């Protein structure tokens, strides 16, 4: 039986279950409930909440038709933990207050990229910041891409629930075109893409190696850590690449520590 015209583009469960919406430090439980309702509208079920401001956010009454989605949502202490198993992390930001450090993709062009990742067995995270200040520079350093919603310059920010609904609608509306678009880079559209958690592990070993080599003064370590996190995501490493580079730096670190002793 063919799907009705109005929902013929809803993603199959095999793909929609591999995309998670991540809310970082949301302040208003009603907004979290609105996000859950929007996700249910477009057949998405994986919600992650990072360091929520209110402890009773799962009881939000605004999650009309989606209370189970709130109950099953995953709460994490950090964004790093929330996206550890994802191969593509997309941040959302108005870009009115800072210069982007990652590629910026207009929302209308995001669907093909997400579609290829999901079709290849990857896992995608769509990350939204708090209502008060959005995503911080530290939060954005965990993102491979930034998605931009076209809004008026006089009112660039959107309500959290509305922003999630707009993004999921656009992804759903363009699902057919996304899965039919040929992949630009074969590595990025397969399960060979490395996860965010593995990139963080690699970044940690590289940072240890830099410290053992006396690469820079201690005051620069936080800035180096931020830049390294961005660089590794910009390189679009495969899991094989990550494993080889990890082995290389572990060997260098072992040698440096041995020489130090």
Q: What's the pLDDT tens digit per position in 150-208? A: 887 788 778 899 999 999 998 887 765 544 544 444 334 444 689 999 999 999 999 99
Provide the CATH number for the domain formed by 5-183 in this structure: 3.40.1280.10
Give the tens place of pLDDT for each residue, 28-62. Answer: 999 999 999 999 999 899 999 999 998 889 988 88
Give the tens place of pLDDT for each residue, 77-128. Answer: 999 999 999 999 999 977 666 788 888 998 888 888 888 888 888 999 999 9
Of the listed ranges 6-15, 79-88, 134-143, 234-243, the one predicted with least confidence: 6-15
The CA distances from residue 102 to 110, 134, 239, in Å, are: 14, 16, 21
pLDDT for 2 beyond 50 = yes
The pLDDT score that the predictor gives to residue 183 is 46
Q: Going edge to edge, which strands form the sheet with 145-148?
A: 74-76, 46-50, 19-24, 124-128, 88-92, 145-148, 104-106
Q: Which of 116, 120, 117, 105 is nearest to 181 (CA)?
A: 116
The pLDDT score that the predictor gives to residue 30 is 92
- The residues near 184 (Cβ < 8 Å, ≥ 6 apart) are 116
Distance CA 64, CA 58 (A): 12
pLDDT: which is higher, 83 or 6: 83
The pLDDT score that the predictor gives to residue 9 is 52
Contact 81, 53 (CB under 8 A): no
pLDDT: which is higher, 118 or 7: 118
pLDDT for 4 beyond 70 = no
Contact 7, 112 (CB under 8 A): no
Taking the CA atoms of 185, 189, 45 and 128 in sequence, report the sign of the dihedral they define: negative
Distance CA 164, CA 168 (A): 6
């Amino acid at each position: 039986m063919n799907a009705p015209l109005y929902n013929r583009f809803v993603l199959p469960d095999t793909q929609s279950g591999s995309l998670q919406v991540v809310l970082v430090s949301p302040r208003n439980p009603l907004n979290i409930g609105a996000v859950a309702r929007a996700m249910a509208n477009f057949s998405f079920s994986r919600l992650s909440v990072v360091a929520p401001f209110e402890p009773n956010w799962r009881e939000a009454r605004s999650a009309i038709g989606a209370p189970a989605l709130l109950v099953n949502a995953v709460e994490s202490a950090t964004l790093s933990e929330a996206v550890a198993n994802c191969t593509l992390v997309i941040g959302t930001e108005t870009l009115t207050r800072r210069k982007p450090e990652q590629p910026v993709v207009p929302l209308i062009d995001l669907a093909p990229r997400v579609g290829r990742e999901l079709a290849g067995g990857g896992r995608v995270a769509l990350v939204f910041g708090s209502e008060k200040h959005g995503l911080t520079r530290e939060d954005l350093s965990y993102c491979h891409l930034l998605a931009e919603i076209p809004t008026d310059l006089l009112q660039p920010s959107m309500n959290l629930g509305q922003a999630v609904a707009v993004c999921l609608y656009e992804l759903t509306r363009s699902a057919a075109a996304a899965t039919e678009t040929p992949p630009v880079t074969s590595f990025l559209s397969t399960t060979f893409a490395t996860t965010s958690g593995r990139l963080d592990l690699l970044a940690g070993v590289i940072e240890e190696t830099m410290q053992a080599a006396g690469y820079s003064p201690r005051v620069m370590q936080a800035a180096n850590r931020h830049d390294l996190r961005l660089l590794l995501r910009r390189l679009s490493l495969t899991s094989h690449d990550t494993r080889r580079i990890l082995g290389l730096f572990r060997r260098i670190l072992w040698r440096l520590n041995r020489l130090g002793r």
